[in-house]
Amino acid sequence: DGYTALAARMLEHPLIEVRLNTPAESLAETFDHTFYSGPLDRYFDYRLGRLGYRSLRFEELRLDGDALGCPVMNYPDPEIPWTRQTEHRHLSPWRKPKSATTIVWREFSEPTSPGKSPYYPLRLAGDERLLSDYVALAKAEPGITFLGRLGCYAYIDMDAAIGRALLTAEVAIEAFTAPC
């Protein structure tokens, strides 16, 4: 059923608490451990400066029939303003479409600015120097694991991101359940 259903089932675990739109510095209580997947520089309130990110803008198209013939089509041509189109009906080929109309999402790459959601790290030369300073801060921070594209400031394909998350969970479970 896709990533959303996978994440929803994991978050139903009774020992997992999710808090959205809650800045870490506003939490009154302390936690044994935190897993942070937001932007690395934001965690430290940008005290060393901002790392560069790329954002996305999405445009929905409702079309007749099978528009792409595949789940995802990339457009690397600089003459085409969007970078990718996704037709979700092909992501679950075992399901029969309920209508002749299909939905295609176009992705447009945009610079990230304050207030825009970061999606991908840029990792330009200046970012690499700043990143090493943020990594040093992260290593000195007790009780936290930084993960994901934003927390690690790394471009990670989804299959690898899920693999890393599962490995992180295995290591954490082992560490948290080991006798002191």
C-alpha neighbours within 13 Å on the C-beta side of residue 67: 20
Give the H or E element holding residue 151: helix 148-152
Name the pTM for this structure. Answer: 0.77
CB contact set of 62 (below 8 Å; sequence gap of 6+) = 101, 102, 103
pLDDT level of residue 107 (50, 70, 90 thresholds): very high
- H helices of 12-124, where? 40-43
Helix (H, G, I), strand (E, B) or coil at 132: helix
pLDDT level of residue 138 (50, 70, 90 thresholds): very high
Q: What is the mean pLDDT of residues 55-77?
A: 93
pLDDT level of residue 173 (50, 70, 90 thresholds): confident
Q: What is the mean pLDDT of residues 84-91?
A: 90
Each residue's pLDDT tens digit, 9-36: 988 988 888 878 887 667 777 778 888 8
Are 147 and 35 within 8 A, CB to CB? Answer: yes
CA distance 128 to 111: 18
148: left (phi over 0), alpha (psi -120 to 50) or beta: left
Mean pLDDT over the full length of the chain: 88
Give the H or E element holding residue 102: strand 101-111
pLDDT of residue 24: 67
pLDDT of residue 80: 96
CA distances to 9, 29, 106, 136 from 48, rounded to whole Å, are 37, 26, 35, 12
Which range has the worst mean pLDDT, 65-69, 132-136, 151-155, 175-179?
175-179
Would you mind telling me the total number of residues written for the chain in this entry?
A: 180
